[in-house]
Amino acid sequence: MGFDRVAARLKRLSRSIIFKLLALALLMVALGFVGRFILLRTILTEDVGALSAAHQLSIAEYAARDVEDKVRLRLELLTNLAASLPIQALAGPHRLSAWLSERHAALPFFSHGLHLVQVSDGAVLATSRPDRPPLPVAGSDWFKAVPVTGAAHIGKPYRQDDDGKVVLTMAVPVRDQAGVITAILTGTSAINSPNFLYQLAEKKVGETGGFLLIDPRDGVFIAATDPERVLKPLPPPGLNPLHDRAMAGFRGSGITTNVKGVEEMSAIASVPTPGWFLVARVPTAEAFKPVDHIMSLVIRGGVVVSVSVITILLIMLPHLFRPLTQAARQLHHMARGEQEISPLPVHSEDEVGEVAKGFNFLLGVLREKEEALRQSEARMTHQAYHDMLTGLPNRTMFEDRLDQALMRAQRQGQGFALLYIDLDGFKPINDSNGHQAGDAMLRHVADCLTGQLRQTDTVARIGGDEFTVLLTDLDDPAPTAARIAQQCRTIASQPLIVDGTELSVDLSIGIACYPQDGRSAGELLRHADHAMYQVKGQHKSIA
């Protein structure tokens, strides 16, 4: 009897307008939630993917520029050493070994030493590291390539037998006075040495990503965050489409699946000098983790909203339909691009208001992340063109401003001057008082030089203790440059107190004026550098 009464009541309830409206409302809420979920997930996936790809590419390009700079620095060092090698000492291996050891100690960029190899038979004439295992010469690609091409060559990396470290040999030709290649000067570095490529093995991209440095010429991984990949052959064509595109010259970002079956977002950047390319990669599960987190919040919020809607509809259906409909309409307009994405108005503090607050919070998080990405890119751009110690422009920015000064001078017919400055007495400060005192002295000199110049002039640090000054828009460059040089020398020679110790340096300054001393950047730099060395040799300050 009681069961029949309950069944009859449920039957009457199913026929009521309230039940039909509630069922329709619940159906609309469910469909709206699913539609918004799919649309929001699509939009978030595209936006977060684009932001992550741009950030990933910025990281890859920054790391690639760092590798390029380190490789070029070593090749330039080897080239300069080869040019200054005392050819007459080739008959004295002990003198040559001592000469190489002195240069290696002063410029320790090759952890496994410098070697001089005779072209005729591959004999090692001299080495700066006799304590290391012999340099493998026979069959080496650099030993074959340098005499043929007459140019520098970066050899294939290999693993040494004594300590298992992966090393890389760079080689440049040594010519006699007649220009004939008589020997090869090599520098060998461990890939993971502190001043070379160790960061590629130590640093991660995100929480679980990493770097790959690839040599397409020899078909091997040179360096990698995963040590198991180092010196392993590259995957065969067809296995990884993005890798195949990178081998064909593509540079950018994309999504691919690695050999372990993990889907990754990868960004590819070139290292031009050795012909390598660098890959910064991170699993897509990590890259799109914010999307999954946000969608989880949306799902949980949707469940809460659905339960709340049932209760509210039963109590205040007509009143509560209005703001919910308005909010849904505004979301659809924003999703379709009919109006700018903006915070939803919060009309009340109930569940509908909480949905609006959740969307507004999500919108704020995305905008904060976008702003953080812009600031990160701005910082990386600043670091690429400025010296980290002194804050002055680095060699790259200086060369750009020198080119601009040349174009302006050629267009306007005005002269300008270039000062090439080297610190006398700086090395004893570093050796006796430590690198902190040396860094303090470099910053002191930078401040002194900057204080003597106009805002339109440029002071740059282009080497360890080498600075340049660019004085633009001068009617009579020579006397003005001489006067400024004397002022710089006077103010920079003032003592600096570091930990109670009085330290001082003197400046050797070489001057080149446009157009008297050259009409190109190279001519002006060579003239100023030569003038500076003349000053240093004559124990004067201004050439």
Query: What domains appear along the chain, each with residue ranges and CATH number?
Result: 17-48+289-382 (no CATH), 85-190 (3.30.450.20), 395-538 (3.30.70.270)
DSSP letter at 183? Answer: E
pLDDT in tens, 482-508: 898 888 888 888 888 888 788 888 888
User: How many percent of the chain have pLDDT more than 70?
Assistant: 85
Asked whether the predicted pLDDT for residue 253 surpasses 60, the reply is yes
pTM here is 0.51
pLDDT in tens, 116-135: 999 988 888 888 888 888 88
Distance CA 468, CA 195 (A): 25
DSSP letter at 135? Answer: P
pLDDT at 87: 65
Lowest mean pLDDT segment, chosen from 128-132, 303-307, 471-475, 505-509: 303-307
pLDDT at 543: 43
pLDDT in tens, 408-465: 888 888 889 999 998 888 888 888 888 888 888 888 888 888 887 888 888 998 888 8
SS3 call for 461:
strand
pLDDT at 385: 77
Residue type (1 letter), 42? T
Please report, to the nearest 10 degrees, the dihedral formed by the alpha carbons of residues 63, 65, 67, 70 taken in order: -140
Distance CA 87, CA 177 (A): 8
Distance CA 369, CA 531 (A): 51
- Partners of residue 117 on adjacent β-strands: 124, 184
The half-sphere exposure of 320 on its side-chain side, counting CA atoms within 13 A, is 18
pLDDT at 18: 56
Instruction: Read off the pLDDT band of 350 (50, 70, 90).
Output: low
The angle at the Cα of 48, spanning 42 to 53, to the nearest 5 degrees, equals 125
Q: Which residue bears the tokens 């995957």?
A: 235
- With a CB cutoff of 8 Å and minimum separation 6, the contacts of 450 are 392, 459
Distance CA 313, CA 325 (A): 13
Q: Contact 130/97 with Cβ under 8 angstroms?
A: yes
What mean pLDDT is predicted for residues 236-258?
88
Asked whether the predicted pLDDT for residue 318 surpasses 80, the reply is no
SS3 call for 226:
coil
Considering 66-75, 336-345, 482-491, the range whose residues carry the highest mean pLDDT is 66-75
What mean pLDDT is predicted for residues 253-259?
84
pLDDT at 539: 53
Q: Contact 419/510 with Cβ under 8 angstroms?
A: yes
Lowest mean pLDDT segment, chosen from 26-35, 76-85, 214-223: 26-35
pLDDT at 259: 73
Q: Which DSSP string do the residues of 439-453 spell out, in sequence order?
A: HHHHHHHHHHHHHTS
Q: Contact 203/220 with Cβ under 8 angstroms?
A: no
How high is the mean pLDDT of the chain?
82
Instruction: Read off the pLDDT band of 68 (50, 70, 90).
Output: very high
What mean pLDDT is predicted for residues 148-177?
87
Distance CA 364, CA 166 (A): 47
- Partners of residue 280 on adjacent β-strands: 211, 267
pLDDT at 276: 92
pLDDT at 31: 80
Helix (H) or strand (E) holding 419: strand 415-424
Instruction: Read off the pLDDT band of 17 (50, 70, 90).
Output: low
Lowest mean pLDDT segment, chosen from 144-153, 293-302, 417-426: 293-302
Asked whether the predicted pLDDT for residue 152 surpasses 80, the reply is yes
Chain centroid to Cα 206, Å, comes to 15
Q: Which of 140, 159, 141 is nearest to 231 (CA)?
A: 159
Distance CA 435, CA 49 (A): 44
Asked whether the predicted pLDDT for residue 542 surpasses 50, the reply is no
pLDDT at 317: 58
pLDDT at 268: 94
Distance CA 240, CA 501 (A): 61
What mean pLDDT is predicted for residues 513-529?
89
Q: Contact 140/184 with Cβ under 8 angstroms?
A: no
The 3-class secondary structure across 320-357, one letter per residue, is HHHHHHHHHHHHHHHHHCCCCCCCCCCCCCCHHHHHHH
Structure tokens at 13: 């309830």
Lowest mean pLDDT segment, chosen from 170-179, 268-277, 351-360: 351-360
Residue 228, classified by CB atoms within 10 Å of its CB into exposed (0-12), middle (13-18) or buried (19+), is exposed
pLDDT at 420: 92
Q: Which residue bears the tokens 């470290």?
A: 165
Distance CA 421, CA 488 (A): 10
pLDDT at 526: 92
Distance CA 98, CA 85 (A): 12
Distance CA 543, CA 487 (A): 14
Query: Which stretches of 138-215 are assigned E, i.e. beta strand?
Result: 153-154, 158-159, 166-175, 181-190, 210-215
Asked whether the predicted pLDDT for residue 39 surpasses 70, the reply is yes
3-state percent helix, strand, coil for the chain, nearest multiple of 5: 55, 20, 25
User: How many percent of the chain have pLDDT more than 90?
Assistant: 17
Q: Which residue has the higher pLDDT, 34 or 19?
A: 34
195-203 contacts at long range (C-beta below 8 A, 24 or more positions apart): 195/70, 195/108, 195/109, 196/70, 196/109, 196/111, 197/67, 197/70, 197/222, 197/223, 199/63, 199/66, 200/63, 200/67, 200/224, 200/225, 200/278, 201/225, 201/227
